[in-house]
Structure 1
Amino acid sequence: MLSSRTKVSSYRSPILEPEEYADRFSSAVTNGSIALEIAIGYKLGLFGSLNEFTSPVSPTELAVSCKLKERYVREWLGCMSAAGFVSISSDDKYFIPEACKPHTESSKLASVLPQLAANTSSVLECFKEDGPK
């Protein structure tokens, strides 16, 4: 996807303007962090539990339903609401809109991200000239 700030030249790939490059790089890092938070939500059952509630819930209510610490659930809800995946009601309770709930179940691939991240150090070693083959 090319924007108006992208130069098309004789190179095999477009050369991005510095501002667009910075935007894309920053977005990739941010989206990677959000993806890991999504994986946490899958692994701990936070999305499943939120989907079962029929009205907005407090961090405490969600934590109790998942048998988790409220402080961490509150932080996770903050991340998910900042990313736009969890909504906040006028009385500061959290929910996933009914029409959006099916989409939280369709991206379970995110749950493998922690395993991929855990293998990063092994992959780093493979890159090295004297690393494993």
Structure 2
Amino acid sequence: MKQSNLGTLSKKLYFSYRLRRQIIEKINIGLLTEYQVCEKYGVSLKLIRQWRRSYYKHRILSPLNSFPMKAKKSPQEEIKALKARLAATEKAYQDEKVKARAYEIMTVAARSRSLKNSSRFQSEKSLVPIGSPSDSQ
């Protein structure tokens, strides 16, 4: 570091794009943690997270990574994929409707059974005389 009249000038580190990508891939596969990278390369956690955001935003992957490159789909392929997702979502919705209806039926059955038991209890109570001749005196 050089001394100047304005104070100490810090040396700005430069990391090539390739090195940054390799570092992020090592983090992604678990060889390094973000904190280990901070210590090893002398960079801030904020900078590493910025690299990761950029990496994911641009979906740039190397041969080191097992994930395929994100290829653009033709409009027909996108429509086909979206229709498949829509069909799966509609099926899941129908399944949830069936479950909701089943829970509703079970709730009604439980309530009616509960009411039956409580009315049976009430009817049995009504058979017992409320006041006996000895109570009235």
TM-score band, normalised by the shorter chain? Answer: under 0.3
* TM-score normalised over the length of structure 1: 0.27
* TM-score normalised over the length of structure 2: 0.26
Structure (1 or 2) with the larger CA radius of gyration: 2
Whose helix fraction is larger, Structure 1's or Structure 2's?
A: 2
